[in-house]
Structure 1
Amino acid sequence: MKEMRLHYPLPLMRRIMNVSASGYYAWIDRPPSKWSLQEARLELEIKAMDKRTRYTYGAERLQRELVKQGVQVGICRIKRIKKKLGIRCKQKRKFKATTDSTHSLPIVKNILGQKFTVTA
C-alpha cells in the first residue's frame, strides 16, 4: 500500500483491501519488527558473503560460514533469501574435449624435424 499510495486514493485502497483507517495508520506508524530487522541484516550479510566467495557457495556452505561468525540461521531461510535477492551459485562447467584425434584428415609433414620421444 505504501508504494501504491501515490497512484491510487487511500480510501479506495482501504476499501478494496478491507482495512480500517485506524488499522492502516497503526501499520504506518508501527516500527519494524525484530524479524524484519534481522531479515534485512541477513540479506546484507548474504550479499557480502556471496560477493566475497565469488558466488560459489551454496546455502549449506553459507550457513556453515554464518555459524562460524556467530549468526544462527537455517538453511531454508538462506535459500529463501537468496531466491528473493536473485542470487544463484555459479555452476561448474563439465569438461568438454575439443580435440578430435580420430579424424580422417591428412596429417602435415614434420618440416621442422622435431623429434618427439616419450620419457617414462
Structure 2
Amino acid sequence: MDSAILRAGGGLLQRDAVQRFGFIQEHRRTWPVTAMCRVLGVSPSGFYAWRTRPPNQWTQRRGQLHQQIIEVFEKSRSTYGSPRVHAELVARGIPCCQKTVAKIMRREGLQATIRRKFQLTTDSNHTLPVAENLLDRKFAPSRPNQAWVNDIMAIPTTEGWLYLVAVLDLFSRRAVSWSLGNKRTSELVITALKMALAARRPQPGLLHHSDRGSQYACH
C-alpha cells in the first residue's frame, strides 16, 4: 500500500503540507488517512485541522491563478509557454509573477507545443511547359488504371521536413505507389511514377494527373 501511495503522490514530498493535505483529501476513500499521512510525512491531526480551517486569502488567490493559467494555456491550443501565458494574464489585469506561472505550468505538465509553419509543396513560379488539364475534375473513372493522380505532401518530423509523393488510382482511391525523401525533387516524383507503372503495367490511354509544380513540369 505504501508503494502505491508513493507512486500516486510521490512528487508531493517536495511540496508544502497544504498540497499534501489536498492529495490526502482527494484519495481518502482509496487509502486510510493515517497511512497516507505517514507516507507523505504529515500528521493526521494536522490534516484534520486543515480540513476544518477556512482557506486563507493566499490559498484562494493561488487556486484562482491556477485555473486562469490553465484557461489561457488551453485557449492558446497548447502553444503558449510561461512567458506568453504570463503576458496574457497581465494584459487581463491579473497580477502575477512569471516564475510563479512557470512553476505552476511545470507542476501541471503544461508544455507548449511548437506548431510548424505550413510548407508549400507546389512551385508554380516557373517557365516550364504545362500540360492541359485533361482530367477536368472528373474524379469518378469507371475502371482501374483509367486515371491516376499524383501529389507531394510535406510531413513535419523532429529532424526536419520529409516529402511524400503518392500515386493514387482514382477508381479505388488507393495508393498505387509512393516515394519518400528529404527534398522536393523531380527524381522523387519520377521514382513514384516508375514504381506505379511497374506494379500495374497499365494499358495505353491511362491519364496521369498532377499539379503544375516544377517537379512535374520539368519532364
TM-score bucket (shorter structure): 0.5 to 0.7
Residue in 2 that maps onto 1:88: 111
Deviations 1:53-72 (A, max 9, x none): 11111111111111111111
Instruction: Give deviations 1:18-39, integer Å, cap 9, x for gaps.
Output: 7474x55433211112222111
Q: Secondary structure at the match of 1:76?
A: helix
Q: Which moved more, 1:95-104 or 1:64-73?
A: 95-104
Alpha carbons of structure 1 residues 29 and 64: separation in structure 2 relative to 1, 3 Å: same
Which of 93, 97, 102 matches 1:70? 93
2:54 aligned with 1:28: no
Structure 2: any 5+ residue segments left out of the alignment? 1-23, 117-155, 164-182, 195-206
Residue in 2 that maps onto 1:101? 185
Which residue is 1:45 aligned to?
68
Q: 1:58 maps to what in 2?
A: 81
2:161 alignment partner, SS class? coil
Task: Report the CA distance shift for 1:2/1:52 in structure 2 as closer, same or farther (over 3 A).
Answer: closer
Change (3 A) 1:70 1:28: same
Kept after mapping to 1: 8 A contact 2:33/2:44: no
**Equivalent pair of 2:79/2:115 in contact (CA under 8 Å):** no
Structure with the higher helix share, 1 or 2? 1
The change in CA–CA distance for 1:20 and 1:60 in structure 2 (over 3 A counts) is: closer
Count of paired positions: 111
User: Does the CA contact (< 8 Å) of 2:90 and 2:96 recur in 1?
Assistant: yes
- CA 1:90–1:9: 2 relative to 1, 3 Å: closer
CA distance in 2 between counterparts of 1:13 and 1:87 reads 27
Identity of aligned residues (%): 23
Name the SS of the counterpart of 2:80 in structure 1.
Answer: coil
Q: When you count strand as a share of all residues, which structure comes out higher?
A: 2
CA RMSD of aligned residues (A): 3.8
CA contact (8 A) 2:86 2:101 kept: yes
